[in-house]
Structure 1
Amino acid sequence: MTFKELGINEDIIKVLKRNGITNPTGIQIGSIKEILNGKDVIAEAQTGTGKTLAFLLPIFENILPESKYIQCLIVAPTRELAIQITEETAKLKEGKDVGVLAMYGGKDIGAQLNKLKGNIQIIIATPGRLLDHIERNTVDLKKIKTVVIDEADQMLLMGFKNEINKIMKVCPKRVQTLCFSATMDSAVKKLAYRYMNDPVVVTIEKEEVTLENIKQQVVETTDRLKRDALCTVLDEDNPFMAIIFCRTKRRADELEVVMHRKGYNCKVIHSDIPQNKRERIMKSFRNADIQYLIATDVASRGLDINGVSHIYNYDIPEKIETYIHRIGRTGRAGEEGYTCLFVDPKDSRLLGEIEREIKFTIPRRFV
């Protein structure tokens, strides 16, 4: 199926082509027409399946630039994800007079207040900052047509259930509600159905992200020798752009110091780094000015970057879902991806659980 057959206009299709996107993904095929037809949608798809465009494309089709009121609200659990969605939105609004405002902590609220005086049709926000504006009566959601709750499972995990309830209370009763989530457990369904009317459910199988186009390997080592093993692998691979995942902020910081000392072009990103600095680092990484991004899992949900060819799991994640989210940063849009997991003997139980879940014995790499 093509974007044209899904109901996307030629101008937007041209923008997609300029950004290297020619064919819709499964989640886009399942969602776009339903959203264009005004249906409420619950969509289950992992990060990396193109779900951001699955809701942004029909939103841009339905937006009325000449109407000077907020028509769409997109709520994301983290600043990183809000920034990522805002960047995707900026690409789509090329040549189109659509006002977009990003609201998240760390951004100057005064600048947001000034922008709200202008012509804004789309708001992309984290729950806390949006509620701040709602309580100040600086944002009017009475006429919005569509609400998107993105990464709903992460939203609940981070304790934003009450915030979502407060936000939905100030929206019109018959607003179109779109709920996107990597997992669809009972808590997510309960949240979604509370605000939805006869929703269409779209589900994309996990394997599409987990194994397709991604070569996985394991390096068996010890914690003491892990740094040297990582450096050996990096020297052998010399990837174009790579993300290295660590379990804690302290381990990420320590690894950055060691890698800098050895001459690697790297930066670290985690929740203790000031927001404006994180944004600068992410911009540099997206521009390929940084080769290695060292990250904790707090950042992993919001990392959606073209050109990441390699993922290195310096520390094994404690949850299978986290492993899948991490390796889902590569192998995008039909491109080949590579991921390498470093384990020491105490990690054998977790490694066994991952292999059972993905139904695959990950080949060993010897360094």
Structure 2
Amino acid sequence: MSERSFEDYKLSDEIRRALALLKYETPTEVQSEVLQVALGNQDVVVKSQTGSGKTASFGIPICEMIEWEEKNPQALILTPTRELAVQVREDITNIGRFKRIKAMAVYGKEPFAKQKEELKQKTHVVVGTPGRVMDHIERGTLVLDQMKYFIIDEADEMLNMGFIDEVEAIIQELPSDRVTMVFSATLPKDVENLCHKYMKDPINIEIAATGMTTDTIDHYLIEVKEEGKISLLKDVTVVENPESCIIFCRTKDHVDTVFTELDEANYSCERLHGGLEQEDRFAVMDGFKRGNFRYLVATDVAARGIDIDNVTLVINYDVPMEKESYVHRTGRTGRAGNKGKAITFATPYEGKFIKAIERYIGFEIPSMEAPGHEEVTGRKAAFDEKISGRRVVKNNKTARINKDIMKLHFSGGKKKKLRAVDFVGTIANIPGVTADDIGIITIQDNLSYVDILNGKGSLVLQAMEHTTIKGKKLKVSKAIK
């Protein structure tokens, strides 16, 4: 852990205030190393494990350096999955909340027209998957003229998923006088080649993996025959009795099987895999973050956007075929200074995969005995008591920063010739309210949303029920989200 403080960096009051609310007190090692380089507008290549705080390491400098007045996007962040795009967008929004930074996520399987309309508005940061980002560039809906910052997040995973050509095509469309940052848990040759080809004398930062994988996570291996896995899973979860647990499976069929078994045994659980509708996937992820259920059964890719500080246990129900996946999976626990545990179920025929993982992570995973009947019986009462209750989320960052923010819905937009300045002028005239109390404003054709900060939402809502905007009387209500 770094000895530095966020006070050591030249950050605006708005960013400091957001960091304090998010309880970002001391920079993690990757944040400490990257911040000073990024704030100096230098290219950087970062090799750092998942869970090390890397999103904030690029999110903080981006939010700090963006010019609010500029209408067109100034930062583009590429992620391998939709889920991760949504998570990064949320993190950027939280960090830039009081600077009124507008971030949006673009990804496939969501209506293109909806994203096109949103991109017409002032947007500071675009986070997206390569395919949909390229679509917007080709159709002229994503303007690149003002792009000053380009970030590739989880570059190794991006290449594993076959996005290399699209990533290169996007880079070639960007202005040459930009800052480029590449983040990756591993640095395979293809990633190194990409960096060498498109970056300007990048600073290389490598955060040692050992501190994260062994100091904060206890790793264990249990040998089991395939047909004994479900029974073992139930025994392990009873004995471990985790606050929050992700169970990783190799295929969506395995996810469905495990989920059905746990659901029938009255576990508080949900599943996540690529076969689900996108809306359902996002709802499941959001529910897990909020603590609506305790166990999540998931495939690798589907869980990549999960950024939750208090997952206490990861179970590899199936050994990952790729050694990098082991790092990504187990990195879901032991985050933000919390202690975590990772237990891998291995069949007698999977020794070669385990050996490859051990060579890659640099240590031997210790074996543990499967829980005995007596131990399981002795822990069952405590398990039953906990599983009947809702998980308590101690550290929901978004909920914390949103506590004093109310989003208001107005029944008018572009078709009534309304602009952001009209809302600011009217709302800032309310006694007790200033322009600093007004956050992100989104104006659509027939409706508008305005974030009211600093706990002033109820005051503004009440006042606007009897106030016109640009001579027009609009219905105003508290937005659902």
The reply to whether residue 129 of structure 1 matches residue 132 of structure 2 is yes
Matches within 5 A, 1:147-162: 147-162=150-165
1:74 to partner: Cα distance? 0.7
- In structure 2, the partner of 1:164 is 167
Deviations for 1:281-313, whole angstroms, at most 9, x for unmatched residues? 000001010211101112243332222111011
Matches within 5 A, 1:321-340: 321-340=324-343
Matches within 5 A, 1:64-103: 64-103=67-106
- In structure 1, the partner of 2:310 is 307
The reply to whether residue 364 of structure 1 matches residue 368 of structure 2 is yes
- In structure 2, the partner of 1:255 is 258
User: Which has the higher mean CA deviation after the structures are superposed, 188-197 or 4-13?
Assistant: 4-13
Distance 1:356 1:43 in 2: 22
Secondary structure class of the residue paired with 2:158? helix
- In structure 2, the partner of 1:11 is 14
CA contact (8 A) 1:4 1:10 kept: no
CA contact (8 A) 1:217 1:365 kept: no
Deviations for 1:15-51, whole angstroms, at most 9, x for unmatched residues? 2232232111111111111111111111111111111
Higher relative contact order (CA 8 A, sep 6+): 1
Matches within 5 A, 1:1-367: 1-357=4-360, 358-367=362-371
CA contact (8 A) 1:6 1:29 kept: no
Distance 1:317 1:154 in 2: 14
- Aligned pair count? 367
Q: What letter is aligned with 2:334?
A: G
Secondary structure class of the residue paired with 2:350? helix
Q: What letter is aligned with 1:201?
A: N
User: Which has the higher mean CA deviation after the structures are superposed, 121-130 or 13-22?
Assistant: 13-22
Secondary structure class of the residue paired with 1:326? helix
Distance 1:226 1:84 in 2: 32
User: Which has the higher mean CA deviation after the structures are superposed, 161-170 or 280-289?
Assistant: 161-170
Distance 1:11 1:176 in 2: 23
CA contact (8 A) 1:153 1:183 kept: yes
Q: What letter is aligned with 1:219?
A: I
Structure number with bigger Rg: 2
CA contact (8 A) 1:47 1:301 kept: no
Q: What letter is aligned with 1:362?
A: P
CA contact (8 A) 2:242 2:313 kept: yes
Please report the TM-score for the alignment, with normalisation by the length of structure 2: 0.74
Change (3 A) 1:167 1:351: closer
Q: What letter is aligned with 1:222?
A: K
Q: What letter is aligned with 1:151?
A: E
CA contact (8 A) 1:73 1:146 kept: yes
Deviations for 1:143-164, whole angstroms, at most 9, x for unmatched residues? 2111111111111111212211
User: Which has the higher mean CA deviation after the structures are superposed, 253-262 or 90-99?
Assistant: 90-99
Q: Structure 1 vs Structure 2: percent identity of aligned residues?
A: 36
Distance 1:345 1:164 in 2: 40
Distance 1:169 1:321 in 2: 28
Q: What letter is aligned with 1:295?
A: A
CA contact (8 A) 2:108 2:132 kept: yes
1:344 to partner: Cα distance? 2.3
Secondary structure class of the residue paired with 2:97? coil
Deviations for 1:91-129, whole angstroms, at most 9, x for unmatched residues? 112222222121011222222111112111111111111
CA contact (8 A) 1:244 1:313 kept: yes
